[in-house]
């Protein structure tokens, strides 16, 4: 009884973290496992789980089918809820995988179809589509073609014609699938073709041949971008839990390696690996009537022993200018106690105004320690508490929307600096290793969060008393420079890492490295503002 409840609790948690797009993707990937009639009635992930359990494809003893589905739609952060990692799913796919290569191909194709491609495809098929149907997703279009017997594993002609007409590049995915299938069928005994081809196509890189950037030996729900400051320090035992990247990142560099040249001589066919296909992430919707709110809490003057944060007003001013330029409605609050900070989070969590907005941004400028910030009363507020007000359950108006938190505060040691340099910390000693709170531990375990920390755990961040903090000034500068170039937020934060890492105090001895962590499911790209950036308006 207890195990049954625990199993269903796991399913509920997963369901709460899946949005409408993910549910649609799950329905499509289950099309060969469940009937179209049953799938038509599906309204939530729970409905899919129930159908899979009814066919004994999913039960408390064997949850691999769900792990595979989450892996296919790249919700890797949810795998740990089932006791899996990305790597363990990959290792088991050759023997346990249920989603056919044909279904994978169609899903990959849908990921590559742009909104313009979809409009053109619907125009070409207007006579075949229901008259009242004016809008559908790429997955819905593919499902419609299957239901009308215009698309099947051995009937790809119409799909190929559509791809050729709307975007010939889409044919590469279809042709790759056809080539793999033809090679497998021509080189293997008929009765063994299906199983062996599935094993080969799924497992080609699983013995360790693939190149995957931004991953390590284990996948966790939160990915972190940081520096090699940990290489000889506190995180050595955590290898595989926190993900680092170099100071500079090219968008194309994070894609997995494209195929291989040959198989070994023991294998009769040359097959490219479907798992090595470039993972083209979707982008968050950022074209709504309102971009979103940006809260700035600027704690400058404290009531106890903490020093005034001279230069912080410069940060708050610059953040307000930049996020206003990016289209957000900025609200600035000055000198808030710990209780007032929590009350503000509660107030904004309950706001109905998030419904028609694309995202939410919160910037907190204060003194702090590992995993927390201080109110002006010098009482602690954990970063996790602040962020937890905006989970999908607590703030459904922001469900499936990106929520960005930027924290300018020390996460440990205060260092006495020359007159122009101060540290945003209280404790004069470096926190013991066991007291460090990683950014990944501050983020709620659900999708669509990003936490930008001014510094890594246990270290101070620095503030110029006239020009503001290194981190916030670098963040504002890079947003102004790179948003007009169409860069996504993670690429921008990598540039911020590089910028801050090159800075030092007057003696060249004091350094700082920011560390973002995130559970974003898609790329976040701010639309390019029509007006020039604030730095060019002065």
Task: Give catalytic residue positions.
Answer: 367, 410
Contact 406, 363 (CB under 8 A): yes
Contact 430, 413 (CB under 8 A): yes
Q: What are phi and psi of 381, to 5 degrees?
A: -135, 120
Cα dist from 469 to 273, 311, 314, 512, whole Å: 47, 7, 9, 11
Q: What are phi and psi of 489, to 5 degrees?
A: -65, -35
Contact 141, 148 (CB under 8 A): no
DSSP secondary-structure letter at 458? B
Strand partners, 403: 360, 449
**What are 33's two structure tokens?**
């496992």
d(CA 62, CA 1): 17
Contact 378, 304 (CB under 8 A): yes
Taking the alpha carbons of 60, 65, 69, 75 in that order, is the dihedral positive or negative?
positive
d(CA 436, CA 438): 6
Please give the angle made by the CA atoms of 171, 149 and 170, to the nearest 5 degrees.
Answer: 10
Rounded-to-10 torsion of CA 339, 345, 349, 354: 150
**What are 500's two structure tokens?**
């801050």
Residue in 406, 348, 414, 411 with CA at minimum distance from that of residue 374: 411
Cα dist from 338 to 129, 301, 316, 441, whole Å: 57, 13, 19, 20
Contact 476, 489 (CB under 8 A): no
Residue in 82, 431, 87 with CA at minimum distance from that of residue 275: 87
Contact 494, 249 (CB under 8 A): yes
Q: How far apart are the first and last CA of the chain?
A: 67
Contact 225, 520 (CB under 8 A): no
């Amino acid at each position: 009884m207890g195990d049954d409840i625990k199993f269903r609790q796991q399913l509920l948690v997963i369901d709460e973290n899946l949005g409408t797009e993910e549910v649609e993707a799950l329905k499509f990937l289950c099309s060969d496992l469940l009937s179209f009639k049953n799938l038509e009635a599906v309204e939530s992930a729970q409905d899919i789980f129930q159908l899979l359990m009814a066919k004994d494809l999913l039960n408390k003893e064997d949850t691999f089918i769900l792990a595979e589905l989450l892996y296919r739609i790249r919700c890797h952060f949810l795998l740990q809820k089932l006791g899996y990692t990305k790597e363990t799913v990959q290792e088991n796919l050759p023997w346990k995988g249920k989603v056919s290569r044909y279904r994978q191909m169609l899903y990959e194709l849908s990921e590559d179809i742009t909104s313009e491609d979809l409009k053109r495809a619907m125009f070409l098929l207007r006579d075949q589509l229901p008259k009242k149907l004016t809008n559908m997703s790429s997955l819905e279009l593919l499902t419609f073609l299957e239901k009308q017997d215009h698309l099947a594993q051995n009937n790809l002609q119409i799909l190929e014609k559509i791809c050729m007409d709307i975007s010939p590049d889409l044919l590469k995915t279809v042709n790759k699938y056809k080539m793999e299938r033809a090679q497998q069928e021509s080189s293997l005994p008929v009765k063994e073709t299906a199983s062996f081809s599935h094993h080969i196509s799924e497992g080609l890189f699983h013995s360790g041949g693939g190149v995957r950037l931004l991953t390590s030996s284990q996948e966790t729900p939160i990915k972190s971008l940081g520096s090699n400051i940990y290489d000889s320090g506190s995180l050595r035992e955590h290898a595989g839990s926190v993900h680092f990247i170099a100071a500079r990142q090219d968008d194309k560099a994070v894609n997995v390696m494209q195929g291989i040249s040959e198989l070994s001589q023991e294998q009769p066919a040359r097959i490219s690996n479907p798992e090595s296909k470039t993972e083209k992430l979707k982008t968050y919707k950022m074209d709504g009537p309102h971009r979103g709110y940006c809260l700035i809490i600027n704690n400058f003057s404290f009531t106890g022993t903490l020093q005034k944060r001279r230069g912080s007003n410069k940060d708050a001013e610059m953040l307000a200018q930049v996020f206003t330029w990016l289209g957000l409605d900025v609200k600035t609050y000055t000198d808030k106690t710990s209780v007032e900070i929590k009350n503000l989070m509660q107030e904004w969590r309950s706001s109905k105004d998030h419904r028609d907005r694309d995202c939410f941004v919160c910037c907190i400028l204060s003194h702090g320690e590992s995993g927390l910030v201080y109110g002006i009363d010098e009482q602690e507020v954990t970063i996790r508490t602040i962020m937890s007000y905006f989970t999908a359950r607590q703030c459904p108006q922001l469900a499936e929307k990106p929520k960005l938190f930027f924290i300018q505060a020390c996460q440990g040691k205060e260092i006495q600096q020359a007159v122009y340099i101060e540290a945003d910390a209280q404790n004069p000693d470096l926190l013991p290793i066991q007291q460090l709170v990683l950014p990944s531990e501050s983020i709620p375990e659900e999708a669509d969060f990003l936490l930008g920390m001014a510094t890594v755990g246990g270290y101070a961040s620095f503030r110029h008393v006239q020009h503001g903090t290194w981190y916030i000034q670098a963040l504002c500068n890079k947003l102004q420079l790179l948003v007009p170039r169409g860069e996504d937020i993670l690429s921008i934060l990598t540039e911020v890492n590089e910028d801050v890492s090159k800075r030092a105090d007057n003696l060249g001895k004091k350094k700082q490295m920011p560390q973002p962590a995130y559970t974003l499911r898609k790329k976040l790209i701010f639309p390019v503002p029509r007006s020039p950036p604030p730095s060019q308006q002065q």
